[in-house]
């Protein structure tokens, strides 16, 4: 993988990733002012979780026409976020980040609420463009490009994990209007959180309790049970197994586990990376064929806390969640009273039936 670093007109970093050597010398010709983002994080004392305040994101670009897409390569007539005339994979700092790599002073608590701690919204938010083809998608990539994206996730995770104050690196893709995407060009994002996310913290605590009670790895026992029964397995190869979890919350949800435990994407070896790329493309194409139109989805990498976070990660097992809010051809799963109000999910589908449906699409 060839890495080329450059800078956009407002000082944000852009990095090109290529499978083969390519000259990258284009300059961002736009007249952009330097932007300063002052996100905040506030601690909810009732739930014990951090909330990010990023009101500046209200003005971000929203579903522009294809000829105004900011993620397409630049042309002589129009400069975009990507100065080059073509690219394979490009990563740049988000112009409208939820978190920002700047430090500033804040009072220790919110004005008028002494029980609500607050601190700067330090972190980094990056955009990952999977291809220069505006009309493509991750599912349409070939194996080689998908593998390049895996290497990019690994490189960015490793580098961002080294930043002081970063507790977890989250690589993800929001795909489709039903999910709420604001740009349709094939892309994902990476968040470097200044804390360990509530999901990872809760799972880590349960994994620790299971280790103390049973002397085994909870992730590993879940994976072993699914591989042995095969009831909910959708697809598998020598390195990975994709299955619908028996406790699935979303109408269509698949979790993808490597057979050998690693804590994060950088720890994957070449064989695991190759095998994931092919299996993941297979899964995305099944999602695309399930109904008359492709399903919108969220793909979320569950990586362990960073080594600098102070949270144990020896038992963490990297896995990917792939899920959709589509519960039928013309119906969406809305997070209404029970889900939004009490965080109690009520499933509209049965994991065993969903797994059988997705298997048949192979």
Give the tens place of pLDDT for each residue, 290-332. 999 999 999 999 999 999 898 899 999 999 999 999 998 888 8
Residue 140 clears pLDDT 80, i.e. is over it: yes
Are 252 and 287 contacting, i.e. CB atoms less than 8 angstroms apart? yes
Residue 55 clears pLDDT 60, i.e. is over it: yes
Q: What is the pLDDT of residue 67?
A: 79
- b/e 35-50 (16+ beta carbons within 10 angstroms → b): eebebbbbbeeeeeeb
Domain ranges of the chain: 2-171+183-196, 199-360
Q: How confident is the model at residue 63 (pLDDT cuts 50, 70, 90)?
A: low
Would you state the CATH architecture of domain 199-360? 2-Layer Sandwich (3.30)
> What would the mean pLDDT of 94-104 be, rounded to a whole number?
87
Q: What is the pLDDT of residue 16?
A: 98
Give the Cβ contact number of residue 63 at 10 Å.
10
User: Domain 2-171+183-196 carries which CATH code?
Assistant: 3.30.428.10
> What would the mean pLDDT of 173-196 be, rounded to a whole number?
93
Q: Is 56 a catalytic residue?
A: no
Residue 61 clears pLDDT 70, i.e. is over it: no
Cα dihedral 13/103/62/289 (nearest 10): 70
Q: What is the pLDDT of residue 75?
A: 96
Tens digit of pLDDT for each residue in 230-283?
999 999 999 999 999 999 999 999 999 999 999 999 999 999 999 999 999 999
Q: How confident is the model at residue 56 (pLDDT cuts 50, 70, 90)?
A: low
Angle, helices 270-289 vs 351-360, to 10°: value is 100
Mean of pLDDT over the chain: 94
199-360 matches 2-171+183-196 in CATH topology: yes
Q: What is the pLDDT of residue 242?
A: 98
Catalytic one among 38, 56, 185, 187? 187
């Amino acid at each position: 993988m060839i890495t080329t670093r450059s800078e956009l007109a407002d000082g944000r970093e852009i990095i090109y990733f290529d499978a083969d050597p390519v000259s990258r010398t284009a300059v961002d010709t736009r007249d952009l002012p330097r932007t300063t983002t002052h996100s905040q994080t506030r601690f909810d004392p009732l739930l014990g979780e951090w909330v990010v305040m990023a009101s500046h994101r209200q003005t971000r670009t929203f579903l522009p026409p294809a000829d105004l897409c900011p993620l397409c390569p630049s042309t002589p007539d129009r400069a975009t976020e990507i100065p080059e005339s073509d690219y394979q994979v490009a990563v740049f700092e988000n112009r409208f980040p939820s978190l920002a790599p700047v430090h500033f002073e804040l009072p220790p608590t919110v004005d008028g609420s002494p029980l609500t701690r607050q601190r700067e919204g330090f972190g980094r938010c990056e955009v990952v463009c999977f291809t220069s083809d505006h009309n493509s998608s991750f599912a349409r990539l070939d194996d080689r490009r998908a593998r390049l994206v895996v290497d990019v996730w690994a490189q960015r995770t490793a580098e961002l994990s080294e930043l002081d104050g970063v507790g977890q690196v989250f690589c993800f893709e929001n795909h489709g209007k039903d999910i709420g995407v604001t740009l349709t060009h094939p892309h994902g994002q990476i968040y470097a959180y200044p804390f360990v996310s509530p999901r990872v913290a809760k799972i880590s605590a349960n994994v620790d309790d299971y280790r103390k009670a049973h002397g085994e790895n909870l992730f590993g026992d879940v994976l072993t049970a699914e591989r042995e029964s095969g009831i909910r397995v959708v697809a598998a190869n020598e390195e990975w197994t994709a299955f619908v979890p028996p406790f699935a919350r979303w109408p269509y949800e698949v979790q993808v586990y490597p057979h050998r435990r690693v804590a994060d994407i950088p720890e994957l070896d070449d064989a695991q990376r190759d095998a994931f790329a092919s299996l993941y493309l297979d899964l995305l194409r099944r999602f695309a064929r399930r109904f008359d139109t492709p399903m919108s989805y969220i793909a979320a990498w569950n990586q362990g806390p960073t080594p600098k976070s102070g949270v144990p990660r020896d038992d963490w097992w990297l896995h990917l969640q792939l899920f959709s809010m589509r519960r039928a051809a013309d119906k969406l799963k809305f997070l209404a009273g029970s889900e939004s109000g009490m965080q109690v999910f009520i499933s509209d589908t049965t994991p065993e039936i969903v797994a059988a449906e997705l298997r048949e699409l192979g």
